[in-house]
Structure 1
Amino acid sequence: MTPVRNIVLVHGGFVDGSGWRGVYDELTWDGLRVHIVQNPTLSLAGDVRATRRVLDGLDGPAVLVGHSYGGAVISEAGHHPNVASLVYVTAFAPDKGESVDSLTVGAPAPPVLPPADGFLLLDRDRFAGWFAADLPDQVAAFMADSQVPWGVDALRGPVAEPAWKHRPSWYVLATQDRMIPPPTQRMMAERAGSTVVEVIGSHAVHISQPAAVADLIRQAAAG
Structure 2
Amino acid sequence: MDCLDLIRAFNVDGAINIHGFSHVTGGGLAADAAALRRALDEVDSAIVVGHSYGGTVIAEAGHHPAVAHLLYISSYLPDIGQSQGEIMSGEGDPVSIGDNGDGTLSVSGYDAASFGARFLQDADESTQQQAWARVTAQASGAFMSPTSAAGWEGVDSTYIICGQDRSTSVELQRFHANRATRSVELPTGHHPFISRPDLVVEQVQALLHRG
The structure 2 residue matched to 1:80, chosen from 51, 64, 69, is: 64
**2:3 equivalent to 1:19:** yes
The structure 2 residue matched to 1:65, chosen from 49, 70, 75, is: 49
Contact 2:72 2:160 in 1 (8 A): yes
Per-residue deviation, residues 69-97 of structure 1 (Å, max 9, x unmatched): 11111222251110111000111221211
Question: How many residues align structurally?
Answer: 205
Q: Which runs of 5+ in 2 are unaligned?
A: none
1:103-122 superposed matches below 5 A: 103-107=87-91, 108-122=93-107
> Residues 159 and 34 (structure 1 numbering): CA distance in 2 closer, same or farther, change over 3 Å?
same
**2:156 equivalent to 1:168:** yes
- Which amino acid is the alignment partner of residue 4 of structure 2? W
CA RMSD of aligned residues (A): 1.9
Per-residue deviation, residues 92-111 of structure 1 (Å, max 9, x unmatched): 22121112111111211213
- Which amino acid is the alignment partner of residue 139 of structure 1? T
The residue matched to 2:50 in structure 1 has which SS? strand
Tell me the distance in 2 between the aligned counterparts of 1:135 and 1:45: 32
Partner of 1:213: 200
Contact 2:62 2:149 in 1 (8 A): no
Contact 1:48 1:76 in 2 (8 A): yes
**2:125 equivalent to 1:137:** yes
> Residues 129 and 185 (structure 1 numbering): CA distance in 2 closer, same or farther, change over 3 Å?
same
Contact 2:160 2:186 in 1 (8 A): yes
Partner of 2:111: 124
Partner of 1:195: 182
The residue matched to 1:81 in structure 2 has which SS? coil
**2:25 equivalent to 1:38:** no
- Which amino acid is the alignment partner of residue 65 of structure 2? P
Tell me the distance in 2 between the aligned counterparts of 1:165 and 1:38: 26
Tell me the distance in 2 between the aligned counterparts of 1:71 and 1:54: 16
Tell me the distance in 1 between the aligned counterparts of 2:187 and 2:10: 19
Per-residue deviation, residues 191-221 of structure 1 (Å, max 9, x unmatched): x233111011111111111111122222333
The residue matched to 1:37 in structure 2 has which SS? coil
Q: Percent identity?
A: 29
Tell me the distance in 2 between the aligned counterparts of 1:74 and 1:31: 24
> Residues 217 and 159 (structure 1 numbering): CA distance in 2 closer, same or farther, change over 3 Å?
farther
Q: CA deviation at 1:30?
A: 3.1
Tell me the distance in 2 between the aligned counterparts of 1:41 and 1:134: 30
Tell me the distance in 1 between the aligned counterparts of 2:3 and 2:96: 21
Tell me the distance in 1 between the aligned counterparts of 2:31 and 2:39: 13
Partner of 1:53: 38
Contact 2:159 2:180 in 1 (8 A): no
Partner of 1:182: 170
Q: Which runs of 5+ in 1 are unaligned?
A: 1-16
Partner of 1:89: 73
The residue matched to 1:36 in structure 2 has which SS? coil
With 42-51 and 124-133 compared, the bigger mean Cα shift is at 124-133
